[in-house]
Structure 1
């Protein structure tokens, strides 16, 4: 992988030469990432990556860090909640908190587009990849502002959303809104959160294996301070989750969507300067 080693070494040098204000912003953004991930059950990447790319417009600097955090927290939450559900099942005869049948079906649909997306990330120019990410985020953001998130109501649309979500997940880890739109229609509400976390774990594990194979720098030294930042956001998000499962919060998503539209416009402009 001689062709890949040079740019990845540049990423490593740059990450170690950031200004203090950049470190502070990145730390705050990873707190935000942990908050969104545990609070909503998805979106830690799609609602954080655009801001990170404004700090430095190199997706492969941040995606491995986000992937490792997602792998850790999704596995932790899914395992903890699954154990709790098994105890509840024994005590009250409840179903498992994970819909293994639909999980297997959806993975069969997504796996090939996922692998194609991973390959695309490692070959497309940085400017083009950043533009794709910002464009996708803008589409999601418009849905948030209009309070009309993606919905799936047909078998063809289900398959299309899963395939596209798998591909986007392979390129940038921001395919969650499309995938969630399908899962919400087929997985029981009490199983949705844990099933999604198992799915994220599997998809991100594939991503991490691809990163290792390609020789991508995982910025391991920076996990020493970024993982605690994500953990802080994680615990704040857990408390927030308890509130949003009982109430609707459209205003929150509209404000967030408006901010993401502005960020995406700036990011697209910056990417092609």
Structure 2
């Protein structure tokens, strides 16, 4: 894919932003960045491998010094419910028309944005709802890597706060590895050079996000309301653009 100077600058800012959110919140980088990338151009199958490479790279860095602070017991339990729908979601991504996948991505992003704006947390107090959220989150993650808010809603119930972010990073690493392996097996063209070129830019956001993590958590509602408003505006415009095209 060929970008002009303005588009390249915008892509750089988006990856700087997603790197910041990924480590600042511990999740949500893809959910926040992908709708913006699709407005610039390209298909989900073009952008998702690039996002995947970044997730693998940065989650590895984050976990290098914190691998002991992972709740392996709950991670193994939850994977039984997450991985099968993830595989179904990846199959849908590769078989459905781009327009259908894009509408799905914008729709799920609008849903997240509304919950953040009105501070309506996705929660569960019953085991069967937990399993449903994990299944839905796995499917959405397989389709678009934006299933984090659904999965996090369950993880927050069972994983202690000090283990949560690192456990989620291990989960993302596993899911993205499955997705990237599927892409390569299916012969998806991956823009490796562009992805690697964007890593230093995303790294700036990554480092700033690590430093700002505690402050963001302390102001979680304000941060999510501001981000949700931005996502609602952008995703509504993107959805309207696709529907009218």
TM-score, normalized by the shorter chain, greater than 0.5: yes
The RMSD of aligned alpha carbons is 1.1
Aligned positions of 1:19-168 closer than 5 A:
19-82=4-67, 96-168=68-140
Q: Which residue of 1 aligns with 2:173?
A: 201
> Could you list the per-position Cα deviations for residues 90-139 of structure 1 after superposition, in whole angstroms to 9, with x for gaps in the alignment?
xxxxxx41111110010011111011001000001011000000000000
Aligned length: 244
Q: TM-score w.r.t. structure 1 length?
A: 0.87
* 1:140–1:149 CA contact under 8 A, matched in 2: no
Task: Decide which structure has the larger Cα Rg and report it.
Answer: 1
Q: Unaligned stretches of 5+ in structure 1? A: 1-14, 83-95
Q: Is the 8 A contact 1:114 1:169 kept in 2?
A: yes
Question: What are the superposed Cα offsets for residues 160-195 of structure 1, whole Å, 9 maximum, x if unpaired?
Answer: 000000000000000000000000001111111111
Q: Name the residue aligned to 1:187.
A: 159
Contact 1:57-1:130 at 8 Å conserved across structures: no
What TM-score, normalized to structure 2? 0.97
What are structure 2's unaligned runs of at least 5 residues?
none
Contact 2:216 2:223 in 1 (8 A): no
Shift in Å, 1:34? 0.5
Deviations 1:186-241 (A, max 9, x none): 11111111111111100000000011011112211112421111111101111110
